Structure 1
Amino acid sequence: MTSLDVLRNVSTLASYNVMLQVMLRGVTFSLNAFTLRFVSKELIGVVNVRLTLLYSTLVFLSREAFRRACLSRVSETRHRWRQIINLLWLTLPLGVMWAALLAAVWLWLLELPDPHAVPHYGAAVVLFGLSGVQELLAEPLWVLAQVHMFVRLKVVSESLATVAKCAVTVLLVVFASDWGLYIFSAAHLVYTGLLVLCYAVYFIHFLGSEEASKKNFPLHSVAELLPRRADGEPLVDWTLARLTWSFFKQSFLKQILTEGERYVMTFFNVLSFGDQGVYDLVNNLGSMVARFVFLPIEESFYIFFAKVLERGRDVKSQKQEEVAISAEVLECLLKLVLLIGLIITVFGYAYAHLVLDVYGGSLLSTGAGPTLLRCYSSYVLLLAVNGVTECFVFAAMSQKEVDEYNYVMLALSVSFLLLSYVLTGWAGAVGFVLANCLNMGLRIMHSLLYIHRYFQPSRWKPLRGLLPSPFVLLTLGISAVVTAQSEVIFCCDRGWRLRLVHTCVGAACLLGVGGAILLTETQLTQFVRTRLFPRYTKKQA
């Protein structure tokens, strides 16, 4: 498979992932707006912060390192699939171990919520841990699907699972509201169970079929999906196992950075459960675009860079054609996410109050909510750039460099936790966002230095993607001033008609920014049209 073929497949995967995330987050966005009218903010705080943290920590620590290692180029070597599958099944006992350890911490070391305001906490901890272990049953199937670009499988399975989860939540919230945390525990078990079922049914049907033969799929029966030793071969690929261990040490630190504010809230009690609920709702709202666009791009193009570049080799030792296309893709991705981040920062300031009022009413739009969302809009810009830069860096690093980066991650993790604790005492929930911004800035600086050194011996300069055209910057600046004045004049306690005027002003400014991008960023628009959405380009041709 050539690098252009890989790019075409990865671009299709990225576009499907973006559409999937938009649909799924739209459903969960509506679900949250609905449940806000029926449950207390204390219950939301426990579910969205503490229990979700338990689940995400369990799953991330159990599988992230395996995913990163097995999606690298070594996974393309067919005769190693037996060892790779054996390695991936280690996620299950690892998940059981983490589930037991984390459940003990969540039940016996942390402050317990009021059983009258938040009933059935103990059972919910066990059920959320069980749902994480249940999801790990599909891990070998997930990696196989990603490597072989089974895009529709991911779209269909996550769509069905999310719709089922939302349906169960709505039904139980309306008809069994006294169940408390059982509502969200049952919905989460349905979600992970349906995910596993979809992957299992697909591969049972696919293996041994004519389609599998045409695609030269390396496995031929369901029995080959189960762990076993091949004659004359080691149980696992030890080179891949060592790389997994390197990524595991890194993933532990990355999890602290990713969920750092939740760890601080959970272990240091800097905010009440109600305030945690409000912060998490604003945090989820502010990160919607990051989940819609940035995360699918990062996941998909990590596969592209890992397949096209030889891990650990300098730029002169790579195939120059593949280095060229990697540099072009990196430059355009940086430009794309930077512009999206700038747009969110500019318009997020003027429309934070209106969005929160429409979404959650006075529960979110009063107090620190609007200020929190405005700060988070600026953080999204850093989040966007960091996702793409680390996506490239982690795909290009050698195992030794990955190990060395673990020390950097350790320092960043410690500094982030300290900053979060100190800044939260000074600025409340906003302190979490400020700590995230400072920490993300340091991570970006490290990645930019690595990319600069990587491409320095060559003629390619992908970091030029961080320099938008002056005309686009001018239109963004004008839009920032106009929308800020519009908020003062028309929003947000002066009736729906003036709110509509404020919205129309923002829409007009957004169209102006979009026009400026189309006129001046021709390389980017060509990349989006031909690389990210190649299917639509073919149809038009």
Structure 2
Amino acid sequence: MSSRDALKSASALASYNVLLQVVFRVLTFLLNAFTLRFVSKELIGVVNVRLTLLYSTLVFLSREAFRRACLSGGSGAGRNWRQVINLLWLTLPLGVLWALLLVCVWLWLLEAPDAQIIPHYGPAVGIFALAAVQELLAEPLWVLAQAHMFVRLKVVAESLAMVAKCLLTVVMVVSAPDWGLYIFSAAQFVYTGFLVLCYVVFFCRFLGSEDANQKCFPLRGVGELLPHRADQEPWTDWTLTKLTWSFFKQSFLKQILTEGERYVMTFLNVLSFGDQGVYDIVNNLGSTVARFLFLPIEESFYVFFAKVLERGRDVRNQKQEEVAIAAEVLECLLKLVLVIGLIVTVFGYAYSHLALDIYGGSLLSTGTGPTLLRCYSAYVLLLAVNGVTECFVFAAMSQEEVDRYNLVMLGLSVSFLVLSYMLTWWAGGVGFILANCLNMGLRILHSLFYIRRYFHSSPWKPLRGLLPSRVLLLVLVLSAVVTAFSEGMLCCDSGWMLKLVHICVGGVCLLSVLVTVLLTETQLVQFVRTQLLPHYRKKHT
């Protein structure tokens, strides 16, 4: 696959992933707004913080390293997919081991919630762990689909699974609210079951078909999806195994950084279950844009950079045409996420209180909720830049550089946990966001130094993507001032007419920002128009 074809595939994957995240977030948004009317914030805290942390930790530690290693090199004809699939199946026994360990920790080392207020905690822990192990059954199929750019499969599979989860949750919350944690545990198990089923059905139909033969798919039958060893060859690629081990050490540290506030809340009890519930809801609202756009872009263009660049090789020793494309794409991506992040930061400040009041009523809009969401709006800007810079860095690093970066991640993990604990005692939930901002800033600096050094001896300067036009910055500053003044005068204890006026003011300011982007950021507009939007048009024609 040429670099241009890889760019088209990555753009399509990013487009479909963005669509998928939109569906996910809309459904989750509506589901949370619905369940807030039927369940307590303490129950929300246990489900969304403690049980979700168990699930995400188990899944992430079991598969993340395998994904990053096995996607390096893409779907080239020289790959031995039998060895890759054998390696990927190790995620299942690894997941079982992690499940046994984490279930013991969650049941016996952590303080259990009051059974009178939140019953069925023990069975819920077991079901969430079982759901995570069930999802690992689809891991070899997921990697095959990503490497061969089956962009629609992920959208369809995860959308169907999410719809099934939401429908089951709504039905059970209405019909049997006393079931408590059983409701969310069953819904999670159904979600992973649907996910695995969709991937299995697709590949059972695809393998051996005329379409597979036309695409020269490396596997011929369903039996080749199972682990097996061919004569006179190793069971798996030793180089790929060592790279997986390097990423595994890094993934453990990255998980601490990603879910650090939940670990602090879970293991150090700095917030009550009710406060954890409010924080998690605000965190989900604040991360909406990150999940809509930044995460799909990071996942999709990591695949692109991994295909185009030869891992660990100096920029002068690579194909210059492909390096030029990678530099151009990186610059445009940095500009794109920076502009989006600045918009979220500017308008998030003036509309946090109103958004929480509409979403959850006084349960969220009173107390620390608006302050949390305002701080998170600023944190989104750092999330935006870090996602793109790290996806490039992880695709370009050699194994030795990955190992060295593990030491950096270790230091960042320790400092983050210490900062989270100290700042939370000082500022409550806001302390978590402040600690995240400091830590994310350090990660961005490391990635920027690496990218600058990587392109130092070349004519390309992709970091110019972090320099928006002065006109755009001026319009953003004016919008921040106008919307903040509007909030103070019109929102949020006034009637709905004044609130609507406040919303209209924000709409006019946002329109001004978007027009300014169209007029001043022509390279960015061209990138979005040629690489991202065409895939949406194809989807709907």
Counterpart code for 1:59: V
Counterpart code for 1:154: K
Query: Given the alignment of the two structures, is residue 319 of structure 1 paired with residue 315 of structure 2, yes or no?
Result: no
Q: Distance in 1 between matches of 2:345 and 2:49?
A: 25
Query: 8 Å contact 1:11–1:533 — kept in the other structure?
Result: no
Q: Deviation at 1:534?
A: 3.2
Q: Distance in 2 between matches of 1:425 and 1:337?
A: 32
Counterpart code for 2:529: R
Query: Given the alignment of the two structures, is residue 428 of structure 1 paired with residue 415 of structure 2, yes or no?
Result: no
Query: 8 Å contact 2:75–2:148 — kept in the other structure?
Result: no
- 1:172 matched to which residue of 2? 172
Query: Given the alignment of the two structures, is residue 106 of structure 1 paired with residue 129 of structure 2, yes or no?
Result: no
Counterpart code for 2:307: K
Describe how 1:96-495 pairs up with structure 2 within 5 A: 96-495=96-495
Q: Deviation at 1:78?
A: 4.5
Cα deviations by residue, 1:133-183 (Å, 9 ceiling, x for unpaired) = 000000000000001111111111011000000000000000010101000
Q: Distance in 1 between matches of 2:19 and 2:310?
A: 30
Q: Distance in 1 between matches of 2:539 and 2:146?
A: 26
Q: Deviation at 1:538?
A: 8.4
TM-score (norm 1): 0.99
Structure 1's 473 and 5: CA in aligned 2 closer, same or farther, altered over 3 A? Answer: same
Structure 1's 318 and 208: CA in aligned 2 closer, same or farther, altered over 3 A? Answer: same
Q: Deviation at 1:77?
A: 4.3
Q: Distance in 1 between matches of 2:464 and 2:124?
A: 49
TM-score (norm 2): 0.99
Q: Distance in 2 between matches of 1:254 and 1:334?
A: 21
Q: Distance in 1 between matches of 2:325 and 2:203?
A: 33
Query: 8 Å contact 2:344–2:381 — kept in the other structure?
Result: yes
Counterpart code for 1:477: V
Query: 8 Å contact 2:330–2:462 — kept in the other structure?
Result: yes
**Bigger shift: residues 528-537 or 197-206:** 528-537
Structure 1's 78 and 222: CA in aligned 2 closer, same or farther, altered over 3 A? Answer: farther
Counterpart code for 2:404: E
Unaligned runs of 5+ residues in structure 1 are none
Q: Distance in 2 between matches of 1:191 and 1:114?
A: 27
Counterpart code for 1:407: L
Query: 8 Å contact 1:389–1:444 — kept in the other structure?
Result: yes
- 1:60 matched to which residue of 2? 60
Q: Distance in 2 between matches of 1:143 and 1:166?
A: 26
SS at match of 1:294: helix
Counterpart code for 2:230: A
**Bigger shift: residues 192-201 or 531-540:** 531-540
Structure 1's 222 and 539: CA in aligned 2 closer, same or farther, altered over 3 A? Answer: closer
Q: Which 4+ stretches in 1 moved above 3 angstroms?
A: 534-540
Structure 1's 279 and 539: CA in aligned 2 closer, same or farther, altered over 3 A? Answer: closer
Counterpart code for 2:521: E
Counterpart code for 2:94: L
Query: 8 Å contact 1:330–1:462 — kept in the other structure?
Result: yes
Cα deviations by residue, 1:179-208 (Å, 9 ceiling, x for unpaired) = 010000000000000000000000000000
Query: 8 Å contact 2:347–2:480 — kept in the other structure?
Result: yes
Counterpart code for 1:498: L
Structure 1's 79 and 469: CA in aligned 2 closer, same or farther, altered over 3 A? Answer: closer
Counterpart code for 1:87: L
- 1:38 matched to which residue of 2? 38
**Bigger shift: residues 528-537 or 421-430:** 528-537
Q: Distance in 2 between matches of 1:363 and 1:74?
A: 48
Cα deviations by residue, 1:277-296 (Å, 9 ceiling, x for unpaired) = 00000000000100000000
Query: 8 Å contact 2:74–2:303 — kept in the other structure?
Result: no
- 1:500 matched to which residue of 2? 500
Unaligned runs of 5+ residues in structure 2 are none
Q: Distance in 2 between matches of 1:90 and 1:166?
A: 31
Cα deviations by residue, 1:344-376 (Å, 9 ceiling, x for unpaired) = 000000000000000011110000000000000
Q: Distance in 2 between matches of 1:190 and 1:74?
A: 31
Q: Distance in 1 between matches of 2:53 and 2:538?
A: 43
Q: Aligned residue pairs: how many?
A: 540
SS at match of 2:80: helix
Structure 1's 79 and 261: CA in aligned 2 closer, same or farther, altered over 3 A? Answer: closer
SS at match of 1:59: helix
% identical aligned pairs: 77
SS at match of 1:73: coil
Query: 8 Å contact 1:49–1:277 — kept in the other structure?
Result: yes
Query: 8 Å contact 1:78–1:218 — kept in the other structure?
Result: no
Q: Deviation at 1:535?
A: 3.9
SS at match of 1:138: helix
SS at match of 2:303: helix
Q: Deviation at 1:493?
A: 1.0
Query: 8 Å contact 1:298–1:387 — kept in the other structure?
Result: yes
Q: Distance in 2 between matches of 1:388 and 1:415?
A: 23
- Over aligned residue pairs, what C-alpha RMSD do you find? 1.1
Structure 1's 484 and 108: CA in aligned 2 closer, same or farther, altered over 3 A? Answer: same
